[in-house]
Amino acid sequence: MKYSRLYTGLGLALAQTVAIVPTVHAQLEEVIVTAERREASLQDTDISMTVFSAENIKEQGIQNYLDLSAMSPNVLMHEMPGKAGGAIAIRGFKNAETISSFEPKVALYLDGVLIAKGAGSVFDVLDLERVEILRGPQGTLYGRNTVGGAVNFITKKPQFDEVSGKVSATLGDYDQQDFKGTINVPLGDSFAFKANVASLQRDGFWKNKLDNNKTLGDKDREVAHLQLRWEPSDSLDLLYSFDMTKIDEGMYPLQLVAFGPAQPGLAPYVDDGQQEERYFDAVGTFMKADIEGHSFTANWEINDSLSLVSITGLRKFEVDNFSDSDTSPLFILHNASGDEAETFTQEFRLVGDAFDSDLEYVLGAFYMDEDIKEIYGYNGLGIFGISSNLDSTAQNEVWALFGEGTYSITDKLDLTMGLRYTAEDKEQTRTDTTVLLSTGDAIGGVVLPDAQQDFDDVSGTIGVTYNWTHDLMTYFKVSKGYVSGGFNPRAPNTRPDLWLAGYEEETVYTYELGWKTTWLDNRLIFNGAIFYNDYSDLQVNQLTATGDNNIDNAGDAEITGMELEFTALITDNFTVGGGYGYLDPEYKTYINEGVPEDPSDDVDLSNNHWAHAPENTFNMYARYVVPDVLSGNLVFRVDYSWVDDYFLLTANGPDLVDGNTAPSYDTWNARIGLDEMQGPWDSTISVALWGRNLSDELWYTSGYDLTDGSLGFAAKAPAPPRTFGVDFILEF
């Protein structure tokens, strides 16, 4: 199978743009995706999804997946402070846990290689062909931990035709200085090398008032992505890739937004809603990370109707940080943590067709071996000179067999069926120690029993697609997904029973009715989906009778929702597009077994609000091109997004504090670019002015509420303020 290409163009959603066809009547071009592990038109794919093209990625300044937040219906993506990672929320399910041994609920892939954890996942990708955001369970073809969906990053591959490259510089306020370079070098008719390198630097947006106004939230990253491609025959394509990101930054800031009875001294430091005020932090807070990945992909076209794909991946990350959780001048809670992980994955896929192409199928096998080491230390509450450390290791092995096929019953009616069997073996160790900081010596500790569990599950999908006309397709499908079970690293060391018991898999059944439509001679595209999710054995945080946090299968829930997307080519040079998402989540059951106030009593929390699920999300863009300006195109683009208010924590109720909520917000981004002007030696030059969050909206991405306990505070992480800059790009 050849790697698919996304033809340059104006897209099928807010996040897509498809190039104007040079004819009298311009049209929106077809977009090819590989969401179903084989090449297909987006308009023929029975998945609610948004695709970001290479052109859109350039115009919106997308560098990693955190830049995609709110650009797709029912999708939010935000920084995971201190973990060199991100939290992805799709249809209300978010990778929110900072502990690396917890499993995500949305899968992230780079060129087909699984990025297994949220920590260490913010790799900066420099030369993207497209990004695919798949909404809804993808358990058959993508496996476990995809109840929310999956995100695919697809890079541009080395080419054999000619030497080509690109150099760019981005200069912005807050002393932003980004420099990038790309070179593609053919080495004969069937061998090519490609290198992407970058230096990304920027001062922080906020000031640390306890550390000589040192800025918080700065960026300092070195990035490299190398690829070797060999095509020894017309039927065999081999690709080796290496990517590396080094990060040396200050901690992402938090705002103190509330305090509890235990900490009345925090009153003078509570945030008053100003963008640049009320930021405090301990002296010397930092976040450092080394992230690297290797992959080897082989595509062998066995014959005209059968291909074999092998994808081998090895990913590593090491992340260290020191943070001030209370974000005040008081010494209440300081944290230091270190995470290391190494993940090996291997996937084989047979992709083919049979019965005169009436049957298209994918058969595959998957294996993963994962090793994780974590250490988490904290001190405070007046215990100066002493740190309590939690040291754990985890080993996970996963095996899976899967298959999916689509059969054309008639010229208009297709039936799709798929199954995936997954087996897992998980082992974890944990040691808690108390350390004297002056010497590093342990002065006490507890070694918990080793924990081990096996899990297995069957995921699947069944659906029908009906093509009413060439331009109108509808589908209905039922899909099952699940999140793997695990252990409770936050369980108190006095409760080894909670540690050993762990929690079971979380399961979702999704019923989805969708449509893909094209109108007005390919000048208008309107796609949508309506869905109902039925969740059982939800993995939720519980407050135990001793006041500790614990993960348990305590809830059942349902979510009804909708996604709409459109793109309209108003004139040959003017395009508008947008998307709308709606979510209506509800707990059917949510039982907390015992709380400190009454350890013997179960508490019904089914009236709690669903976290990370804004009821409404909306996004829209307008793009206008003035051709033949200084031998290039003058491109105007404006993007707008709006997100309803939502809750940041699952543990919420009627007595909420500000740290538990994210108010609604809207953002405006704009770009004016003179693109692809003729330069010397057959090169092109592009210059663009851009601005993001033009209204300087203050909004929040994550938070926590500890006001009820002895810590007595709540804090939230703000999103970046208004920024401006200019891009210079030379391509040859």
Most confidently modeled range among 25-34, 146-155, 191-200, 318-327: 191-200
Averaged pLDDT score across all residues of the chain: 86
C-alpha 505/C-alpha 144 separation (Å) is 10
Backbone angles phi, psi at 282, to 5 degrees: -70, 160
Chain centroid to CA 475:
26
Structure tokens at 134: 């798949």
Q: What percent of the chain has pLDDT over 90?
A: 54
Residue 212 burial (C-beta neighbours within 10 Å; 0-12, 13-18, 19+) = exposed
User: What is residue 54's predicted lDDT score, i.e. its pLDDT?
Assistant: 87
User: What is residue 277's predicted lDDT score, i.e. its pLDDT?
Assistant: 54
Helices marked H in 382-518:
496-501
Structure tokens at 619: 């996004």
Question: Is residue 18 in some structural domain?
Answer: no
The answer to whether 529 and 517 have CB atoms below 8 angstroms apart is no
| Residue 5 confidence class, pLDDT cut points 50, 70, 90 | very low
C-alpha 184/C-alpha 156 separation (Å) is 10
Average pLDDT estimate for 296-306: 96
C-alpha 445/C-alpha 515 separation (Å) is 59
185 pLDDT higher than 90: yes
| Residue 96 confidence class, pLDDT cut points 50, 70, 90 | low
Average pLDDT estimate for 352-376: 94
465 pLDDT higher than 70: yes
Residue 411 burial (C-beta neighbours within 10 Å; 0-12, 13-18, 19+) = exposed
| Residue 713 confidence class, pLDDT cut points 50, 70, 90 | confident
User: What is residue 380's predicted lDDT score, i.e. its pLDDT?
Assistant: 59
C-alpha 6/C-alpha 34 separation (Å) is 10
19 pLDDT higher than 50: no
35 pLDDT higher than 50: yes
4 pLDDT higher than 80: no
User: What is residue 363's predicted lDDT score, i.e. its pLDDT?
Assistant: 98
User: What is residue 458's predicted lDDT score, i.e. its pLDDT?
Assistant: 94
| Residue 545 confidence class, pLDDT cut points 50, 70, 90 | low
pLDDT per residue as tens digits for the range 632-673: 999 999 999 999 998 887 766 554 555 577 889 999 999 999
359 pLDDT higher than 90: yes
C-alpha 566/C-alpha 575 separation (Å) is 11
Q: With b meaning 16 or more CB within 10 Å and e meaning fewer, what string describes 563-584? A: bbbbbbbeebeebbbbbbbbbe
Q: What is the CA radius of gyration of the chain?
A: 25
Question: Is residue 25 in some structural domain?
Answer: no
Q: How many CB atoms lie under 10 A from the CB of residue 480?
A: 21
User: What is residue 694's predicted lDDT score, i.e. its pLDDT?
Assistant: 95
C-alpha 183/C-alpha 231 separation (Å) is 19
Question: Is residue 9 in some structural domain?
Answer: no
Most confidently modeled range among 43-57, 261-275, 343-357, 594-608: 343-357
| Residue 709 confidence class, pLDDT cut points 50, 70, 90 | low
pLDDT per residue as tens digits for the range 421-462: 999 999 999 888 887 766 667 677 788 889 899 999 999 999
14 pLDDT higher than 60: no
128 pLDDT higher than 70: yes
Average pLDDT estimate for 466-486: 95
The answer to whether 502 and 485 have CB atoms below 8 angstroms apart is yes
Name the pTM for this structure.
Answer: 0.90
Question: Is residue 17 in some structural domain?
Answer: no
User: What is residue 181's predicted lDDT score, i.e. its pLDDT?
Assistant: 96
Is pLDDT larger for residue 21 or for residue 166? 166
DSSP-derived letter for residue 54 is H
Domain of residue 328 covers 32-731
Number of domain units in the chain: 1
DSSP letters, 628-666, are EETTEEEEEEEEEEEE--EES-SS--SS--GGGEE--EE
Strand stretches in 304-356, DSSP E: 306-324, 333-354
CATH code assigned at 225: 2.40.170.20
Lowest pLDDT segment from 122-126, 346-350, 680-684? 122-126
Most confidently modeled range among 222-236, 254-268, 595-609: 222-236
C-alpha 649/C-alpha 654 separation (Å) is 13
Question: Is residue 391 in some structural domain?
Answer: yes
pLDDT per residue as tens digits for the range 569-587: 999 999 999 999 999 999 8
pLDDT per residue as tens digits for the range 590-624: 877 655 555 556 777 777 788 889 999 999 999 99
61: alpha, beta or left? (left if phi > 0; alpha if psi -120 to 50): left
Question: Is residue 548 in some structural domain?
Answer: yes
C-alpha 637/C-alpha 574 separation (Å) is 10
Question: Is residue 488 in some structural domain?
Answer: yes
User: What is residue 17's predicted lDDT score, i.e. its pLDDT?
Assistant: 37
Lowest pLDDT segment from 60-64, 148-152, 307-311? 60-64
Could you tell me which of 334, 125, 202 has the C-alpha nearest to residue 692? 202
Give the residues across from 107 on adjacent strands: 150
pLDDT per residue as tens digits for the range 487-527: 887 777 777 887 888 888 999 999 999 999 999 999 999 99
Average pLDDT estimate for 544-553: 68
| Residue 151 confidence class, pLDDT cut points 50, 70, 90 | very high
Lowest pLDDT segment from 109-123, 387-401, 607-621? 109-123
Question: Is residue 1 in some structural domain?
Answer: no
10 pLDDT higher than 50: no
The answer to whether 46 and 39 have CB atoms below 8 angstroms apart is no
User: What is residue 331's predicted lDDT score, i.e. its pLDDT?
Assistant: 73
Strand stretches in 470-523, DSSP E: 472-483, 506-519
The answer to whether 111 and 295 have CB atoms below 8 angstroms apart is yes
User: What is residue 561's predicted lDDT score, i.e. its pLDDT?
Assistant: 97
User: What is residue 16's predicted lDDT score, i.e. its pLDDT?
Assistant: 39
